[in-house]
Chain A
Amino acid sequence: MRKLVWRNLLRNKRRTLLTVASLAMGVFLLCVLGALLQTFNPTETETSEKRVVVRHAVSLQFELPEAYWRRLETLDHVEAVSPLSWFGGIYKDTRPENFFSQFATDPKTLLEVFQGIEIDEASGEAWVMERRSFIAGRALAEKHGWRIGDEIFLKGEIYPVDLNLVLRGTFTYPDDQAQENQIFFHRDYVEEALANPGMVGTYWLRLDRLESVPVVIEAAEAMFENSDARVKAETEQAFAASFTEMLGNVEFLFGAIGFAVIVSVFFITANTMAMAVRERNTEVSVLKTLGFGHRRILGAVTAESAAIGFIGGSVGVLLAAALVRAAAQALSTMFPLFSQMTLRPGVALLGLAAALGLGALSGFIPGQAMARRSVVEGLRKVA
């Protein structure tokens, strides 16, 4: 029986090949969509769960007083506090490829709060010492061809000041490569240029252990309950998720597209199998006469189309694995978020399973009609 399945697959090689190819395109697309969607839900790392972000309760448009810094440091379970203000300046022009995150911060505490940042000691010290200096993620520095000692100009958009910064070091962030698409510089320098308004966008707190997270969140919010500027405290994940949330129903959009892809692929494979089954009326009747049961005939057809599904799915997954880096590069000019897109095994497996399932289903439906048809009717019918 296995041989029959195999022979039937090769009986019309061109048809099998075309079906495999169109299935492969569908699975490729599903895998890429899955990989894209996963960039919205970054992996949770050990250290990030121990960090809490404190921001103004109204929205990020509002800043918090500098005085909150020392007060947050007095909270139990808090080991270090660092201020981070989103500068949002324009580098060269407003094209997406020149976009990267820019944070005004306090160098000393930043490296205490983000222990995942790896920078060689000499560069780190040089940065801490020099007011006008900045550090950049290695990937970002390479992308723009910045070398140590190079100066960059940022035109202020949110803040009414322009900055001239000099590169003193590059860092890596092995836990989460997406973090390398940013630069850090001295908030003192920005404050001075703004005539010392004494404001901070967000405070980042490193806690002693995971269990302290809810306690600290509650304590931080309670601390400023009756102040002019009430705060919202949340985990680093929740903070990151709030940006994705604002996007709205991305998951629904991608889900709808994925569903349409699956339906489209189903029509394609079902069509192939319907064609394949139709031309076999006579021979199936012969098989039945020879004593092959309904179930075996149905099984053979289902196995045949499942095999097409599996081959097509595998090709699609391989294609996606090979092209995902190139796709990430191409997309990152428009969507910086996607520069770190990778194909995770879960997504690949899901794509393969979808192909296999669709293949089996599209063989099963015409196969059932074929298995049920009476021998006499089948023999009488001419293809």
Chain B
Amino acid sequence: MKLPLKYSARSLLVRRGTVMMTVASIAFVVLVYLGVLSLAGGLRSAFRTSGDPAHVVVLREGALSETSSFFSLERGREVMALPGIAKNADGSVVAAGEVMILNNLPRRDGSMSNVTFRGVSSESFQLRPALRIVDGRRFEPGTAELIVGRRLSERFPTLGLGSELTLGQLRFRVVGIFDAAGSSFDSEVWGAAEDLSSAFRRTGYYSSALLRAGSEAEAAALVQRIEDDQRLRLRALTEAEYYAQQTAATTRQFVLLANMLAVIMAIGACFAAANTMYAAVSARTREIAALRVFGFKRRSIMGAFLLEAALLGLVAGLIGVLLALPLNTISTGTTNFLTFSEITFSLRTTPMALLGGVLVAVLTGLIGGLPPAWSAARKHIPDAMRAV
């Protein structure tokens, strides 16, 4: 005969104060776990939304990122003339040679970070359809104007709409703020490629080229064609793949950190859960004996106490999740270690992470509840009956 779920649930409510404190301590474990995971989730989603699998990124052979890549304009033109690139109605190819420049600028709190400046052409906008101007207007090529990702402009006071800044040799003005739907372009400043390369004396080079293929299959063929061409000495990969590689190391580190913290904190919380459950068992010694007399098996008693501990964990897990949800409204920034440039992103708690958090809490309750449940099941009936 099994004890009903209601017995375990109502038993929890009997000692509200103690249970609540334990629930709180486990909920904080879940909060920390989800907090760190939301960094990884946010970073990953910022970069995932950046890459289109039908787009091909072209870099110098051996380069891992656009910032360390460069090749001559001539080589760039050769690549953009390859067959397999999508064309506009007027016959022009949907491809853009771009220049990436890192410039050290102060954040709002005074600390310095490298900001990515992307020198683009008009096709660059066509290649990133998610990017739209939310304030001001687009830049005019040749007039030293810039547009800035909204999140970046919030973090860097010198990048607000209307502000002027000297880059290399030229005085630039911010004429627009754009939103790129949470992608990594939100962490960039865009200007005309010619303007930026002449300001920084980087003329004659592209950092990268972005090409649109007709389909994913054609993108793969285009990648193969560029990689196989020994004469070009260029590296090609799909845009989706490129951005996945950009964050892999950093997100792995956050996940590792989250797991480590969760394990250590959960061990501590297990002891707390054990304490609570031991108290519950000893307070109910006579009740347990009575149940045994009524014919409930040791197994049922143990099951009931384990269930009670698991429920305690579940409640804590759900509270932890609730506490973690507001994290989704926070946006922050760090550096991309591959390029040493600023990336801003919103924290994101993914459904998988939330599930993981609840699981951590339930496991904490179960593991902590196991020894007390065991001791409850093994109580000697006559002794237990006599207990006060």
**Interface residues, chain A, with chain B CB atoms under 8 Å away:** 14-15, 18-19, 21-26, 28-29, 32, 57-62, 88, 94, 96, 155-158, 160, 162, 228, 232, 242-243, 245-249, 253, 256-257, 260-261, 263-265, 267-268, 270-272, 274-275, 334-335
Q: How far is the CA of A21 from the CA of B111 in the complex (A)?
A: 40
Stretch from B3-11, B130-138, B175-183, B264-272 contacting the other chain: B264-272
Residue among B103, B271, B340 with most chain A CB within 10 A? B271
Stretch from B27-35, B44-52, B143-151, B300-308 contacting the other chain: B27-35
B217 at interface, CB cutoff 8 A:
no
B279 at interface, CB cutoff 8 A:
yes
Q: Are A268 and B274 in contact (CB under 8 A)?
A: no
Contacts of B111 in A (CB 8 A): 245, 248
User: Contact partner of B334 among A23, A29, A248, A270, CB < 8 A?
Assistant: A248
Contacts of A14 in B (CB 8 A): 278
A-B contact pairs, 20 of them (CB 8 A): A14-B278, A22-B275, A28-B264, A32-B264, A58-B102, A58-B200, A59-B103, A59-B104, A60-B102, A155-B62, A158-B63, A160-B60, A160-B62, A228-B169, A248-B111, A248-B335, A253-B36, A268-B25, A268-B268, A271-B276
What 9 pairs between A and B have smallest CB-CB spacing?
A: A25-B268, A22-B271, A271-B21, A264-B28, A246-B335, A267-B25, A22-B268, A245-B111, A59-B102
Q: How far is the CA of A249 from the CA of B275 in the complex (A)?
A: 36
B381 at interface, CB cutoff 8 A:
no
Q: Are B102 and A247 in contact (CB under 8 A)?
A: no
Q: Are B253 and A245 in contact (CB under 8 A)?
A: no
Q: How far is the CA of A157 from the CA of B245 in the complex (A)?
A: 15
- Which residue on chain B has the smallest CB distance to residue A20? B271
User: Contact partner of A61 among B102, B256, B265, CB < 8 A?
Assistant: B102
Q: Are A257 and B261 in contact (CB under 8 A)?
A: yes
User: Contact partner of A246 among B39, B67, B332, B342, CB < 8 A?
Assistant: B342
B17 at interface, CB cutoff 8 A:
yes
Q: How far is the CA of A15 from the CA of B276 in the complex (A)?
A: 9
Instruction: Determine how close the nearest CB of chain B comes to the CB of A12; give it in whole angstroms.
Output: 9
Contacts of B24 in A (CB 8 A): 263-264, 267
Q: Are B61 and A160 in contact (CB under 8 A)?
A: yes
- Which residue on chain B has the smallest CB distance to residue A14? B278
Q: How far is the CA of A14 from the CA of B340 in the complex (A)?
A: 51
User: Contact partner of B114 among A59, A271, A274, CB < 8 A?
Assistant: A59
- Which residue on chain B has the smallest CB distance to residue A335? B253
Q: Which residues of chain B from 234 to 264 have a CB within 8 Å of any chain A CB? A: 249, 252-253, 256, 261, 264
- The secondary structure that dominates the B interface is helix
Residues 162-197 of B, flagged 1 when their CB comes within 8 A of A and 0 if not, give 000001110000000000000000000000000000
Q: Are A260 and B31 in contact (CB under 8 A)?
A: yes
B328 at interface, CB cutoff 8 A:
no
Instruction: Determine how close the nearest CB of chain B comes to the CB of A160; give it in whole angstroms.
Output: 6
Q: How far is the CA of A14 from the CA of B28 in the complex (A)?
A: 24
User: Contact partner of B25 among A59, A228, A257, A271, CB < 8 A?
Assistant: A271
B64 at interface, CB cutoff 8 A:
yes
Instruction: Determine how close the nearest CB of chain B comes to the CB of A151; give it in whole angstroms.
Output: 20
- How many residues on the B side are at the interface (Cβ–Cβ under 8 A)? 57
With known contacts A249-B332, A257-B35, A261-B265, A15–B275 Cβ distance under 8 A? yes
Contacts of B21 in A (CB 8 A): 267-268, 270-271, 274
Q: Are B113 and A18 in contact (CB under 8 A)?
A: no
B158 at interface, CB cutoff 8 A:
no
Instruction: Determine how close the nearest CB of chain A comes to the CB of B286; give it in whole angstroms.
Output: 14
Q: Are B249 and A261 in contact (CB under 8 A)?
A: no
Q: Are B28 and A245 in contact (CB under 8 A)?
A: no
Q: Are B334 and A268 in contact (CB under 8 A)?
A: no
**Interface residues, chain B, with chain A CB atoms under 8 Å away:** 17-18, 21-22, 24-25, 28-29, 31-32, 35-36, 39, 60-64, 67-68, 101-104, 111-114, 167-169, 200-201, 249, 252-253, 256, 261, 264-265, 267-272, 274-276, 278-279, 332-335, 340, 342
Q: Are B268 and A21 in contact (CB under 8 A)?
A: yes
Q: How far is the CA of A293 from the CA of B29 in the complex (A)?
A: 40
Q: Are B29 and A58 in contact (CB under 8 A)?
A: no
Q: How far is the CA of A263 from the CA of B64 in the complex (A)?
A: 43
Q: Are B112 and A245 in contact (CB under 8 A)?
A: yes
Q: Are B332 and A248 in contact (CB under 8 A)?
A: yes
- Which residue on chain A has the smallest CB distance to residue B339? A61
With known contacts A248-B333, A260-B28, A270-B21, A58–B101 Cβ distance under 8 A? yes
Q: Are B18 and A271 in contact (CB under 8 A)?
A: yes
Q: Are A96 and B249 in contact (CB under 8 A)?
A: yes
Q: Are A246 and B29 in contact (CB under 8 A)?
A: no
Contacts of B274 in A (CB 8 A): 18
Q: Are B265 and A264 in contact (CB under 8 A)?
A: yes
Q: How far is the CA of A23 from the CA of B272 in the complex (A)?
A: 9
Contacts of A271 in B (CB 8 A): 18, 21-22, 25, 272, 275-276
- Which residue on chain B has the smallest CB distance to residue A23? B268
Q: How far is the CA of A21 from the CA of B340 in the complex (A)?
A: 41
- Which residue on chain B has the smallest CB distance to residue A56? B104
Contacts of B29 in A (CB 8 A): 264
Q: How far is the CA of A256 from the CA of B206 in the complex (A)?
A: 42
Instruction: Determine how close the nearest CB of chain A comes to the CB of B199; give it in whole angstroms.
Output: 10
User: Contact partner of A88 among B68, B103, B333, CB < 8 A?
Assistant: B68
Contacts of B249 in A (CB 8 A): 94, 96
Q: Are A264 and B62 in contact (CB under 8 A)?
A: no
